[in-house]
Amino acid sequence: MEESWVNSAEQIGADLHLELSGPGGRRAALIRALREAVRSGRLAPGTRLPPYRSLAADLGVARNTVADAYAELVAEGWLTARQGSGTRVAERAEPLRPAARVPVKVPPRARGPRHDLRQGTPDASAFPRAAWLASYRRALQQAPNEVFGPGDPAGRRELREALTEYLARARGVRTEPGCIVICSGFAHALRLLFGQGGGGVLRGPLAVEAYGLGFHRELLTAAGVRTAPLPLDEAGARVDLLDRERGVLLTPAHQFPTGGPLHASRRAAVIDWARARGAVVLEDDYDGEFRYDRRPVGAVQGLDPERVIHIGSVSKSLSPALRLGWMVLPERYVDGVLAAKGEREAWASVLDQLSLADFIVSGAYDRHVRRMRQRYRRRRDRLVEALAEHAPRVEVTGVAAGLHAVLRLPPGTERSTVKAAAWQGIALDGLGTFRHPETDMPAGDGLVVGYATPSEHAYGAALDALCGVLPPGEQRGPASG
């Protein structure tokens, strides 16, 4: 049996895998293979076939074998041959495709919710396609050839320089390009820091906030890291309760999901604790750009770059589909993280890195964040107004920043409200979903409502639907955070 990839692109335009096998010699095998390629649609009607000589060379057969096979298929009506336009697949060859005759069972397409109010994703319809494309084009035009070789696991220097300036200006982060490692987002950063099944640069136990993303807790558990829950109050995580843990993971700008910033005294206290214990603070700055009513809360990293690992990504500001993030490291961890990443860049596309660098340096990132901040602020305001009008006893909290709000519900109503919402085609999460299983902090009933996910035109209907399922006119639960 002989096989060949025919990719005489100027004739076929795509790779064509021909397998010469079966009885009757090469001519018969080639006829069968070409017939099959036409029948299956791999060779579309009108496609120009390679000249005899090049196909013969690709397949390692005599030129006459190809000429004979083409002639046979022209006679059968599969191909057409015309002076000056070469041999092409006949226009009427299509009905013979088996796919058209054999009924194919198509699995039902997973239908999304009618109203998606889950937290987590920005408005996908607002991705800045034109500006990103312009950055991508510039990046590609200006990229030196070495860009197309194996990438540096630290990430492109251009992006690390752009981030150094941007993070200093927008988030108060103090660093230099040599202390930034590009990764594919926060989850990847956790994997790099703690390893998978041990072997990272950090070890547990790790204190975490009593409410947080379960996915991140699971990731840590899978890496063999024990997580200890820290209760929350109106000033944020109770860092005064930190003890013998080796580190603490916090969302200081906007506690996830309850929504408050970590109070200034707690920020100072956690740094004192880390210095005294030789511990490290992991700062998850997942939506630090989106603060609405006051100046953004600066990064804790700015208080002590030697004690804090600051982690950010474009998942909220641009799109989680880009899978681009950054770790700002104390210098002592850089080599270990690079070793965990491997010898070459295996995660973050170098072209996307260069595009993001251009996007930041050209000012497009700031413009996009400003535009989205206005849009999300309007949505937040509409949510607050709608609740005030239709569900006045439901308290809305955590709305000074971010892309989601927490709606405090009367005790004992969280489950039934989430269920009722699901019946109405509304996807959202109960607050309990985010609770650390070992915390003894008093639970409050609530909903976590993401107001960024629906597209602009769908948001009003989603709000109406939400108001329709909220418990009417009862006493609300105790507020916290």
| Residues binding ligand PLP (CB under 6 A) | 120, 185-187, 213, 251, 256, 284, 286, 313, 315-316, 320, 325
The rounded distance, in Å, linking the Cα atoms of 393 and 473 is 6
Strand partners, 6: 16
Answer whether 431's CB lies under 8 Å from 406's CB.
Answer: yes
Helical spans, DSSP H, in 40-89? 52-59, 63-76
- Of residues 311 and 354, the one with the C-beta less far from ligand PLP: 311
- Of residues 291 and 476, the one with the C-beta less far from ligand PLP: 291
Give every strand in the sheet of 429-430, ordered side by side. Answer: 395-397, 404-408, 446-450, 429-430
For the CB of residue 255, give the shortest distance to ligand PLP in the complex, in Å.
Answer: 9
For the CB of residue 288, give the shortest distance to ligand PLP in the complex, in Å.
Answer: 11
Please state, as a whole number, how many other Cβ atoms lie within 10 Å of the Cβ of residue 285.
26
For the CB of residue 357, give the shortest distance to ligand PLP in the complex, in Å.
Answer: 18
- Of residues 70 and 286, the one with the C-beta less far from ligand PLP: 286
Q: Among all residues, whose Cβ is closest to ligand PLP?
A: 185
Residues 6+ apart with CB under 8 A from 239: 230, 248, 250, 262, 266, 269, 270, 273
Site of tokens 């681009």: 324
The rounded distance, in Å, linking the Cα atoms of 409 and 469 is 12
- Of residues 307 and 316, the one with the C-beta less far from ligand PLP: 316
Q: Name the token pair of 375.
A: 């849009």
- Of residues 325 and 471, the one with the C-beta less far from ligand PLP: 325
- Of residues 35 and 310, the one with the C-beta less far from ligand PLP: 310
- Of residues 181 and 469, the one with the C-beta less far from ligand PLP: 181
Beta strands in 198-270 (DSSP E): 206-209, 227-230, 232-233, 236-237, 247-250
Taking the C-alpha atoms of 166, 169, 171 and 174 in order, what is their torsion angle to the nearest 10 degrees? 90
- Of residues 284 and 358, the one with the C-beta less far from ligand PLP: 284
- What DSSP letter does each residue of 378-400 carry, written as one string? HHHHHHHHHHHHH-TTSEEES-S
For the CB of residue 252, give the shortest distance to ligand PLP in the complex, in Å.
Answer: 12
Query: Cα dihedral sign for 181, 306, 206, 428?
Result: negative
Closest CA to 225 of 252, 245, 255, 251: 245
For the CB of residue 106, give the shortest distance to ligand PLP in the complex, in Å.
Answer: 31
For the CB of residue 27, give the shortest distance to ligand PLP in the complex, in Å.
Answer: 56
For the CB of residue 239, give the shortest distance to ligand PLP in the complex, in Å.
Answer: 18
For the CB of residue 325, give the shortest distance to ligand PLP in the complex, in Å.
Answer: 5
For the CB of residue 190, give the shortest distance to ligand PLP in the complex, in Å.
Answer: 8
Q: Name the token pair of 413.
A: 């109503």
- Of residues 50 and 257, the one with the C-beta less far from ligand PLP: 257
Q: How far apart are the first and last CA of the chain?
A: 70
For the CB of residue 317, give the shortest distance to ligand PLP in the complex, in Å.
Answer: 10
- Of residues 301 and 413, the one with the C-beta less far from ligand PLP: 301
